[in-house]
Chain A
């Protein structure tokens, strides 16, 4: 998939490249997902939330009443704080959903709306 490499949000130093205990992970495939239209580098199969956090993105949705930012809280799919709109589907728990090449991830404002096909 082609994209503007220069404008892609590269992984910042938020990725742990060297760890004193954990050995380097096997080579993972680099893909591109889109956050509110902006290209973000990700590893195929990792949680969407991890890819976003690695690019320094922490606010994933805004609450219905006061428009307050929410991000990851439990990271195991239990609290629903990390929900975003993924490929048009709302209320997707990004901490347990795997990133796939070309995925479109959007900030969810308030309640999700299921659009009829």
Chain B
């Protein structure tokens, strides 16, 4: 196995990883950015809608344009980008096993930032394996990256932002959306996203779930059913909807394998998608060389991922002496301020509360380790 070395290794070239790479590289550190996909950008290049947030920080700009900007900066800064490269393991205190094109490498880094993101959850029901049943993110990749329609008529499951946005994007791609169903009695994502698809004539059917996906060689229809407040099907409320594509937008869960391998301390936070690695206010985990940023430590949004990446990049560089303490303090305070601003309001406040709770848990864990 060929051995490689770097100052800061970053796993994941999505919004968190790209942002971390930029700020770490600007400080003069040698940065290696790794992504298992052949194209960088993670979720960013699939986001064709205009982002929310503050105008000063890229609001109103479409996700893929933000991705292009970040990528240009990364390239201009001379970051070593390894695409189509899977980080398959953590070895020793601070080495990663990498495999690309059937060759493997051992990359030793003084600091490692894990920004691997999240992956889509699966919903099991009769017929859920039929061709035509796919993740909502998968449909988004197929339409916005490959420019192919996955089908002609779709039903969306899940009314969080992913479900609402992908339903809209399916229509932009020329796919009819017959309905969006949601098991809870209310919509989970932003009202304005729901309003857009309502205006386009998509019925949003709350308190309903999928009973079965039907078809022989591929999806031909779905059977949905009403559910009560305990999410149990209500007999007699079944109905069939003809469709050839069923998109599951039922949440994301953090891709934390490398953090587990590194021995990081975790906590289960349902709001954030499951088990998440704990971190301090510098995005540092309970294992000295390892930092985290983005969905891997709590499923939120691309904007928070970018700011956490920003924070982790600066903190990692500072810990190696690339940024002087006072300057780093100011830069980190700025990033934390932006994160606070993004975690406000009806949706953001709960995330702010849980992130605060995670910091407190981290402090307890550190105290335990010292005693």
A46 touches B131 (CB 8 A): no
Residues of chain B lying within 8 A (CB to CB) of residue A14? 148-149
Give the Cβ gap from B202 to chain A, nearest Cβ, in Å: 17
A76 touches B149 (CB 8 A): no
Give the Cβ gap from B121 to chain A, nearest Cβ, in Å: 11
Nearest A residue to B140, CB-CB: A75
A20 touches B134 (CB 8 A): no
B172 located at the interface, meaning its Cβ lies under 8 Å from any Cβ of chain A in the complex: yes
Q: Contacts A58-B131, A74-B119, A75-B138: A53 and B36 contacting too (C-beta < 8 A)?
A: no
B138 touches A73 (CB 8 A): yes
Q: Contacts A21-B48, A69-B217, A74-B137: A50 and B131 contacting too (C-beta < 8 A)?
A: no
Looking at chain A's contact residues, the main secondary structure is: loop
Residues of chain A lying within 8 A (CB to CB) of residue B173? 16, 19
Q: List 11 A-B contacts (CB under 8 A).
A: A15-B148, A16-B148, A19-B172, A21-B172, A22-B144, A50-B146, A58-B132, A70-B131, A72-B134, A74-B119, A78-B119
Contact of B142 among A20, A59, A63, A72 (CB under 8 A): A72
Q: Which 6 A-B pairs have the closest CB atoms?
A: A71-B131, A75-B138, A50-B146, A58-B131, A75-B141, A16-B147
Nearest B residue to A50, CB-CB: B146
What number of residue pairs across chains A and B have CB atoms under 8 A from each other? 90
Contact of A75 among B38, B137, B172, B218 (CB under 8 A): B137
A116 located at the interface, meaning its Cβ lies under 8 Å from any Cβ of chain B in the complex: no
Give the Cβ gap from A57 to chain B, nearest Cβ, in Å: 9
Residues of chain A lying within 8 A (CB to CB) of residue B278? none
A68 located at the interface, meaning its Cβ lies under 8 Å from any Cβ of chain B in the complex: yes
Contact of B147 among A25, A72, A75, A76 (CB under 8 A): A25
Q: Chain B 119-144, CB within 8 Å of chain A: the 1/0 string? A: 11010000001111111011101111
